[in-house]
């Protein structure tokens, strides 16, 4: 079966216009459909910047960022937000849960902007509760305020939110950074089981090379990205 890149960057250049003059160029980077890829790089090497380009939260100054065959630069801001919600489940470093929303509110949020994802889980609340259980969250957790959960529990909620409605791509920015080693292992077991069940593409950012053996491929920032400017 021939694979096609689900994420593709070509001749990309990007410079942050505010606060810093940090700039990167990416001659070529491809992530294939269904791959699990670990992106390794030192702190400050531009990993989150690269993820922002792939998610379309920032746009390349030149070159192309294609996601699922669509050039993100060709979409309006509104269309890009919708496209991201449909295509990409994102697990942020700090989880980005709404603290005063319930767990269920938080999990269902991305579906509001993603009709295709919503159509894949017609009874979204039941699906959310089922996934919480699968990820070892306590019964009834869906009614709790996100702010009242432990860090490990918040992390699991962030995973359910990213996976609900089976987006084709899952992007995780250092999701294990606030966990001890045993919790990290458990978390990754659960994440990989879900990714395999949904046949998603997984791109995870880390600075921890010990995670490498779990992934199909490791991409080193220094091999794919040139840093062209440093913080002013």
Ligand X SMILES: Nc1ncnc2c1ncn2[C@@H]1O[C@H](COP(=O)(O)OP(=O)(O)OP(=O)(O)O)[C@@H](O)[C@H]1O
Task: Choose which of 33, 48, 71, 73 interacts with ligand X (CB under 6 A).
Answer: 48
Size of the site for ligand X (CB under 6 A): 15
Nearer to ligand X, 133 or 207 (CB): 207
- By CB under 6 A, tell whether 177 contacts ligand X: no
Burial label for 227, CB within 10 Å (0-12, 13-18, 19+), is middle
Shortest distance in whole angstroms from residue 2 CB to ligand X: 33
Nearer to ligand X, 120 or 207 (CB): 207
Q: Which residues contact 67 (CB under 8 A, 6 or more apart)?
A: 6, 7, 8, 54, 56, 83, 87, 88, 169
Q: Residue 110 corresponds to which tokens in the numbers above?
A: 């991305």
Q: How many angstroms separate the CA atoms of 19 and 200, rounded?
A: 35
Task: Choose which of 27, 44, 140, 209 interacts with ligand X (CB under 6 A).
Answer: 44
Q: Residue 111 corresponds to which tokens in the numbers above?
A: 């579906």
- By CB under 6 A, tell whether 94 contacts ligand X: no
- By CB under 6 A, tell whether 45 contacts ligand X: yes
- By CB under 6 A, tell whether 56 contacts ligand X: no
Task: Choose which of 18, 76, 182, 213 interacts with ligand X (CB under 6 A).
Answer: 18
Other C-beta atoms within 10 Å of 198: how many?
17
Select the span of 17-25, 133-141, 144-152, 196-204 touching ligand X (CB under 6 A). 17-25
Nearer to ligand X, 107 or 225 (CB): 225
Task: Choose which of 10, 13, 16, 183 interacts with ligand X (CB under 6 A).
Answer: 16
Q: How many angstroms separate the CA atoms of 2 and 90, rounded?
A: 27
- By CB under 6 A, tell whether 25 contacts ligand X: no
- By CB under 6 A, tell whether 92 contacts ligand X: no
The per-residue DSSP string of 127-185 comes to: HHHHHHHHTTPPTTGGGSBGGGS-HHHHHHHHHHHHHTT--SEEEEESTTTTS-HHHHH
Task: Choose which of 49, 106, 176, 200 interacts with ligand X (CB under 6 A).
Answer: 49
Strands in 226-229's sheet, in edge-to-edge order, are: 70-71, 62-67, 5-15, 23-32, 226-229
Hey, which residues between 202 and 231 contact ligand X (CB under 6 A)?
Answer: 207, 231
Site of interaction with ligand X (CB under 6 A): 16, 18-20, 22, 41, 43-49, 207, 231
């Amino acid at each position: 079966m021939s694979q096609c890149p689900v994420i593709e960057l070509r001749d990309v250049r990007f410079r942050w216009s505010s606060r810093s003059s940090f700039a990167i160029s990416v001659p070529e980077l491809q992530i294939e459909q269904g791959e699990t890829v670990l992106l390794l790089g030192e702190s400050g090497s531009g990993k989150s910047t690269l993820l922002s380009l792939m998610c379309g939260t920032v746009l390349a100054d030149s070159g192309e960022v294609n996601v699922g065959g669509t050039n993100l630069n060709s979409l309006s801001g509104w269309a890009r937000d919708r496209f991201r919600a449909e295509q990409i489940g994102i697990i942020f470093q700090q989880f980005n849960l709404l603290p005063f929303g319930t767990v269920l509110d938080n999990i269902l949020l991305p579906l509001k902007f993603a009709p295709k994802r919503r159509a894949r889980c017609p009874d979204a609340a039941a699906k959310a509760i089922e996934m919480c259980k699968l990820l070892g969250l306590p019964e009834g957790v869906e009614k709790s305020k996100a702010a009242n959960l432990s860090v490990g529990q918040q992390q699991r909620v962030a995973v359910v939110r990213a996976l609900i409605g089976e987006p084709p791509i899952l992007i995780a920015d250092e999701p294990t950074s606030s966990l001890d080693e045993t919790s990290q292992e458990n978390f990754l077991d659960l994440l990989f089981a879900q990714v395999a069940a949904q046949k998603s593409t997984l791109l995870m950012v880390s600075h921890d090379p010990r995670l490498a053996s779990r992934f199909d491929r490791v991409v080193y920032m220094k091999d794919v990205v040139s840093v062209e400017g440093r913080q002013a």
